[in-house]
Structure 1
Amino acid sequence: MIITKIEPQKNKDRVNIYIDDKFAFGITKEIQYKYNLAENMEIDEKYIEKVLIEEEQSKCNNFALRFLGYRQRSEKEIVDRLQKKGFKPYIIDNTLDYLKDYGLINDLEFARSFMRDKIHINKHGPKRIRYDLYKKGISQAIIDKVLDEDDGEYDRALKLAQKKLPSYREDNRAARYRKLGGFLQRRGYSADCIYRVLNKLIK
């Protein structure tokens, strides 16, 4: 088999490869140069396979980088997205290694950042944060570690409850106790914390 033509695509970083006067595949110029592909070059199936695997790997790496460009991601989020795009398992594994080599995947730092956002923006408690991190594929050890670093649960729950309590002013004590407790529970605060807050605010 002979490469009979190499033509540029509209995307200046890519070219089309023709073999025996028929279009064969498109690749990046970087891969073309890496594999020394040129017109009139003789090429076999094994070499083509190597080139196409390299092209697929490049696509997967670049897609993952774009996916990370929007916000920090957990490893599971990246894997799930790449699987959804149809990349093969060994290609995904190589991409994960590539991202880790550049420090772009770090579940511990992701979990810390996620917890900060949920605390300061959503006012969530540790039980809710634990559940959400679990869904993101974060290991139990990392979840335990980051939650142990947070010692402000009671103060946050108290402020949240103080802000919410006036909306129950028409209710009797039992109803206020039940409604405020349910509100804090839905936000993910622990039973012990809720008990302390309720006993402080509802006399």
Structure 2
Amino acid sequence: MNTITAIEVQKKKKNRYNIFVNDTFKFGVSKDTLIKFRLHKGMVLTDDLEHEILSHNDYQRVYLKGIQYLSYGLRTEKEVYDKLLSLEDVHIPLIENAINQLKKEKYINDTFYVKAFIQNTLATTKKGKHAIIQTLQKKGIDTQLIDEGIEQYYSPDELDTAISVASKYIQKQKKMSKKALLEKATQHLVQKGYTYAVAKEAVSHVDIAVSKEDELEALYEHANTLYKRYAKSYNGYILKQKLSNALYQKGFSYDDIRAYINDKMENEDDRFIER
């Protein structure tokens, strides 16, 4: 007959207990398991009871890991499932039971998660609708929940928000051609999750005040940097082409680029002469 002969608190984990049967260590259990089964010294431990105790103890381990993971912040059902799946010696039914319990207790609530995520994203990053949808999809949220959340909580005019984002981005940029600035701002909006059509229209509504003087100053700064690089390896026609192409890709006009090269030649820079 198997009888519990001692119960000791574990040294490193005070909320766990070592169970000794017939004066030999048998297994460890959580405090919840100890209380649930009213384990005590002198209790007879049948095979069926031991199996029930260990099954519940395994479940508690998975459940408490879920609670711990959720304590750091809101998580989706898929995120919790993936986290529990990474545990050692865990079975799928235990994970499913733990998640069902966590959902019942409202620790996991994908509907609430969608609401919180959309509202927080709009308040802090002003990302576009497309980026929000993609992120929620990656987090395993059901498509219907995402659609309902977007319809209910994505309230601002997306174009107005995009214009605001583009305007702030453009104000921070310096020493750039107007054409390059437009392209960069559009790309910035697309990267933040706005569609290309919305990004393009938003940028068109932003007043980009780049004077001819500022644009020429930007051109000369970029050109001088590029010239120093290319002049080490090229001269003559190839140097002109390399320099012209690089500056054109940065959005500067061909006439301004040609004016820069002519200015260099007038200053007797012989690197533009074929050798």
Question: What is the rounded CA distance, in whole Å, between the counterparts of 1:155 and 1:161 in structure 2?
Answer: 10
* 8 Å CA contact 2:7, 2:17 repeated in 1: yes
Shift of 1:195: 2.4
Letter in 1 for 2:21: I
* 8 Å CA contact 1:177, 1:202 repeated in 2: no
Query: What is aligned with 2:273?
Result: none
Letter in 2 for 1:54: H
- Structural mapping, 1:32-51, within 5 Å: 32-51=34-53
Counterpart of 1:189 (choices 190, 194, 197) is 194
Query: What is aligned with 1:73?
Result: 75
For the residue of structure 1 that corresponds to 2:141, the secondary structure is: coil
Query: What is aligned with 2:91?
Result: 88
Q: Deviations over 1:86-135 (max 9, x none)?
A: 33211111111111111121111101111222222222111111111111
Letter in 2 for 1:195: K
Letter in 2 for 1:39: K
CA spacing shift, 1:173–1:14, aligned 2, 3 Å: closer
Question: What is the rounded CA distance, in whole Å, between the counterparts of 1:12 and 1:128 in structure 2?
Answer: 45
* 8 Å CA contact 2:3, 2:43 repeated in 1: yes
* 8 Å CA contact 2:160, 2:202 repeated in 1: no
Query: What is aligned with 1:180?
Result: 185
Question: What is the rounded CA distance, in whole Å, between the counterparts of 1:38 and 1:172 in structure 2?
Answer: 80
> Normalising by structure 2, what TM-score?
0.68
Question: What is the rounded CA distance, in whole Å, between the counterparts of 2:30 and 2:179 in structure 1?
Answer: 69
Query: What is aligned with 1:20?
Result: 22
Shift of 1:173: 3.4
* 8 Å CA contact 1:8, 1:16 repeated in 2: yes
Shift of 1:202: 5.5
Residue 116 of structure 1 pairs with residue 119 of structure 2: yes
Residue 155 of structure 1 pairs with residue 160 of structure 2: yes
* 8 Å CA contact 1:107, 1:138 repeated in 2: yes
Question: What is the rounded CA distance, in whole Å, between the counterparts of 1:194 and 1:12 in structure 2?
Answer: 57
Shift of 1:169: 5.5
Residue 100 of structure 1 pairs with residue 108 of structure 2: no
For the residue of structure 1 that corresponds to 2:146, the secondary structure is: helix
Query: What is aligned with 1:126?
Result: 129
For the residue of structure 2 that corresponds to 1:144, the secondary structure is: helix
Question: What is the rounded CA distance, in whole Å, between the counterparts of 2:28 and 2:56 in structure 1?
Answer: 12
Letter in 1 for 2:113: F
| Further displaced range: 30-39 or 121-130 | 30-39
Question: What is the rounded CA distance, in whole Å, between the counterparts of 2:187 and 2:200 in structure 1?
Answer: 11
The structure number with the bigger radius of gyration is 2
Letter in 2 for 1:141: Q
Q: How many percent identity over aligned positions?
A: 27
Aligned-residue CA RMSD in angstroms?
A: 1.9
The runs of 5 or more residues in structure 1 that have no matched partner are none
Question: What is the rounded CA distance, in whole Å, between the counterparts of 2:184 and 2:31 in structure 1?
Answer: 63
Query: What is aligned with 1:164?
Result: 169
Alignment: residue pair count: 203
* 8 Å CA contact 1:185, 1:191 repeated in 2: yes
> Normalising by structure 1, what TM-score?
0.90
Letter in 1 for 2:51: E
